[in-house]
């Protein structure tokens, strides 16, 4: 009976030590991530011609605009490229009507994609802003078929006060015969 009790105490003590070590590890990791919150943010990649057999846009074609990230003990907000950062993103060349897949290091709860529209309305007023792409169009998200440079804003949410806004740009070249 005494031996059984000693084994139970050893098991309980071992579990307490493992839980304490795990807790300390989480606190240390959280503290280090708060010192460089940008390194803790999920990475977004854009694949054209589909994720399975496609190619990834170079990282220079994608920028983080701003973020709010909830850590264990505090919420950190920051601006990297800012709201105007889309203007400095270099476009990556993609084929017309090529399938585009947004891939994250871990999947967000929600993704909203907008495209930059610069146009003159019938009344002569200029329109320069991001317009949301309807959610039903995102199931088969494709590069436009018309030649041009296109800028996209991607608003993501991971829950618990965690949001990141990304920009990326593509260029559909003209097809010469």
Domain co-membership, 60 together with 100: yes
DSSP code of 177? -
Give the rounded percent of residues in the chain with a pLDDT score beyond 70. 84
- The Cβ-side half-sphere exposure at 144, using a 13 Å CA radius, reads 17
Rounded Cα gap, residues 33 and 127, in angstroms: 40
Residue for token pair 């030649």: 147
pLDDT at 36: 64
Q: What is the pLDDT of residue 128?
A: 81
pLDDT in the model for residue 177? 46
Does the structure show a pLDDT above 80 at 152? yes
Give pTM, 2 decimals: 0.75
- Residue 86: which H helix or E strand, with range? none
Phi and psi at residue 53, in whole multiples of 5°? -115, 10
Q: What is the pLDDT of residue 50?
A: 58
List pLDDT tens digits, range 76-108: 888 887 777 778 888 888 889 888 889 999 899
According to DSSP, the β-strands at 44-48 and 100-104 are antiparallel
Largest CA distance in the chain: 92
Number of folded domains that form the chain: 2
Q: Are residues 127 and 92 in the same domain?
A: yes
Q: Do residues 73 and 114 both lie within one domain?
A: yes
- Same domain? For 140 and 70 the reply is yes
For the chain, what percent of residues have pLDDT higher than 90?
19
Query: Does residue 123 carry a pLDDT above 60?
Result: yes
Find all residues with CB under 8 Å of 121, minimum gap 6, and list them: 127
Q: By the 8 A CB rule, do 132 and 114 touch?
A: yes
On whether both 49 and 17 belong to a single domain, the answer is no
Same domain, 15 and 88: no
169 and 90 Cβ atoms separated by less than 8 Å: yes
- Greater model confidence, 73 or 138: 138
Contact, 33 vs 71, CB < 8 A?
yes
C-alpha triplet 115, 119, 123: angle, nearest 5°: 135
Residue 174 has pLDDT above 60, yes or no: yes
Q: pLDDT per residue over 10-55, tens digit each?
A: 887 788 777 766 666 555 555 555 556 777 889 998 988 755 666 7
Give the residue numbers spanning the domain of 5: 1-35
| Coil, strand or helix at 56 | strand
What average pLDDT does the segment 62-71 reach? 86
Residue 127 lies in a domain: yes
């Amino acid at each position: 009976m005494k031996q059984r009790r000693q084994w139970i105490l050893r098991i309980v003590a071992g579990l307490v030590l493992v839980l304490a070590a795990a807790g300390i590890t989480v606190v240390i990791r959280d503290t280090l991530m708060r010192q460089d919150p940008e390194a803790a943010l999920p990475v977004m990649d854009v694949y054209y011609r589909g994720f399975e057999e496609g190619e990834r846009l170079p990282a220079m074609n994608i920028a983080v605009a701003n973020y709010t990230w909830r850590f264990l003990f505090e919420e950190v907000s920051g601006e990297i490229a800012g709201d105007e950062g889309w203007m400095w993103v270099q476009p990556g060349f993609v084929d017309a009507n090529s399938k585009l897949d947004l891939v994250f290091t871990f999947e967000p709860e929600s993704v909203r994609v907008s495209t930059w529209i610069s146009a003159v309305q019938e009344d002569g007023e200029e329109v320069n802003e991001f317009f949301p792409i309807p959610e039903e169009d995102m199931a088969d998200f494709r590069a436009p078929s018309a030649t041009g440079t296109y800028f996209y804003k991607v608003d993501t949410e991971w829950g618990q006060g965690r949001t990141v806004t990304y920009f990326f740009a593509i260029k559909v070249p003209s097809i010469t015969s």
